[in-house]
Amino acid sequence: MREIWFVALLGLLLAGVHPAAAQSPKPAADANKMLSLTKDDRILGKPDAPITIIEYASLTCPHCRHFEDQVLPQIEKKWIDTGKAKLVMRDFPLDQRALQAEMLARCVPPQRYYPLVKTLFATQEEWVLAKDWPAALARTVRLAGIGANEFDSCLADKKLEDAVAQSRLTAATQLGVDATPTFFVNGKKFEGEPTVEAFDQLLSGLAGKS
């Protein structure tokens, strides 16, 4: 039943229809509020880093995996590990597989969130393309210490399921996010190809202003 509900919600989002009301442009002040960090955000780096990179991503998205594998390590080395920037990944599930994987990532302690995300991206093809993908996903997260009982309990958490789905709904209807990955850097949407060079140029410019 929940999968049917999510598919229906996903259909509305892809059609550009808000379930409660028609979309309308949001003032900049509202967008800034949506991009403000909350207690539920998972931060990679120092919380007080002056530059904030928010990434809306889906764990089943191959472009997100490319960013995780090829771009993020270099951003981490130069900008995040040095305390100049921090990354916040927010949920934008593209399908039921992503919804459940992102729920599971939210069920581990905050300090284990990004290591699990890294594992899920690294093994993406193994669990996303598996015929019995729930079983493959269960095997993958077992590496992060999520046993059978914890797996079932996490995925039965309706409040968490709603929160992950709402993250996508909010981003789509209030921030105009329509693809993954989508980035906002210090409150402004990143335009263009998310390459190492593009991020380095943008972050260097912001660092020079601080």
The answer to whether residue 93 sits within a structural domain is: yes
Which of 17-52 are b and which e, b meaning 16 or more Cβ less than 10 Å from the residue's Cβ?
eeeeeeeeeeeeeebeeebeeeeeebbbbeeebebb
- Give the domain range for residue 52: 45-197
Nearest to 42 by CA among 89, 100, 83, 103: 89
pLDDT at 144: 87
The answer to whether residue 9 sits within a structural domain is: no
pLDDT in tens, 115-134: 999 999 999 999 999 999 99
Mean pLDDT of all residues in 24-53:
84
Instruction: Count how many domains the chain has.
Output: 1
The answer to whether residue 89 sits within a structural domain is: yes
Q: Binning pLDDT at 50, 70 and 90, where does residue 93 land?
A: very high
pLDDT in tens, 144-186: 899 999 999 999 999 999 999 999 999 999 999 999 999 999 9
Q: What is the pTM of this model?
A: 0.86
